[in-house]
Amino acid sequence: MENLTKENFFDGMMIKYPDAMKIFCDWIDEYKKRVNWKRLFNSDSNWQDEKGKNAPAPKFHDLPIAMQYGVWLHFLSDHDVVCGNFDIENLSKSLRNEIEEWMSEIESSNPQISNPQSL
Per-residue pLDDT reduced to its tens digit, 43-98: 665 666 667 666 678 888 888 888 888 898 888 888 877 665 555 556 666 777 87
Rounded CA separation 4/74 (Å): 16
Q: Do 24 and 16 touch, CB atoms closer than 8 A?
A: no
Rounded CA separation 100/112 (Å): 19
State whether residue 70 is helix, strand or coil.
helix
Give this prediction's pTM: 0.66
CA 55 from chain centre, in angstroms, equals 21
Lowest mean pLDDT among 9-13, 32-36, 62-66, 80-84: 80-84
Q: Is pLDDT of 109 > 60?
A: yes
Helices 18-34 and 91-108, packing angle to 10 deg: 120
Give the per-residue pLDDT at 119. Answer: 34
